[in-house]
Structure 1
């Protein structure tokens, strides 16, 4: 913590957190007893599936701030995440993707794998045909009698 000229103290702290797993949803509980209300708290989710939790607030003569980043699993539905602050605990609700969404992702993955396999097969055929064509042309050119 750092003392300022006006007598206030500024400090960065690392909040504790815990996971609670329930059917269809995971809960991330971030313990922030120093914060009395949600003022200054921010929860953001990046495109890469990282939850960024930050806070900046005042407790007595101390200015507190923190930043916590937590990587989410791929089975969370990042579009449906909700956060609620009560009694010093920030409760972040992380719904899991439905089985239909998971199957759709698997289906898209297997489509990509099939496409990749077919594309590699076509590329191999093109290479073999090109090699035979080149060899046939070489034979043809070498058998031509020059006058």
Structure 2
């Protein structure tokens, strides 16, 4: 049987910005389930959302491409379809520069503290040995 009606359509969508991630809501009331829906991320960071659905003699298709921001973690993007809405979660990357700086500062302080404690211990030992040596020297002097 040949398709009498075929059509491409542009789904409506909206962004929600949350702490740590962005949420893309794609409204697809024409789709009753996730069958025929695809969400892919290309190597160059383009989020491709497509759908192809056949119902009776009507075929519906769409393709939406959105450039993923550099602050999004492409490997952790997740999608879920429920009640005619495709929810795509785009988590933010952990700010590596901030994390490296804070970790680096903490580890530098720990290293400094460890070295300073070691130096202080050596100074105490040297002072004690010097005092003991002086005491021995003074007590063993033979008086004429």
Specify if TM > 0.5. yes
Distance (Å, rounded) in 2 between the aligned partners of 1:22 and 1:15: 22
Does the CA contact (< 8 Å) of 1:41 and 1:53 recur in 2?
Answer: yes
Aligned to 2:39: 43
4+ long deviations beyond 4 Å: 101-104
Q: Which of the two has higher C-alpha Rg? A: 2
Gaps of 5+ in 1: 105-147
Gaps of 5+ in 2: 101-144
Distance (Å, rounded) in 2 between the aligned partners of 1:7 and 1:51: 29
TM-score norm. by structure 2 comes to 0.64
Indicate yes or no: 2:87 matched with 1:91: yes
Given candidates 64, 70, 82, the residue that maps to 2:78 is: 82
Does the CA contact (< 8 Å) of 1:34 and 1:59 recur in 2?
Answer: no
Distance (Å, rounded) in 1 between the aligned partners of 2:31 and 2:98: 37
Distance (Å, rounded) in 2 between the aligned partners of 1:38 and 1:20: 21
Matches within 5 A, 1:89-128: 89-100=85-96
Alpha carbons of structure 1 residues 98 and 65: separation in structure 2 relative to 1, 3 Å? same
Indicate yes or no: 2:25 matched with 1:26: no
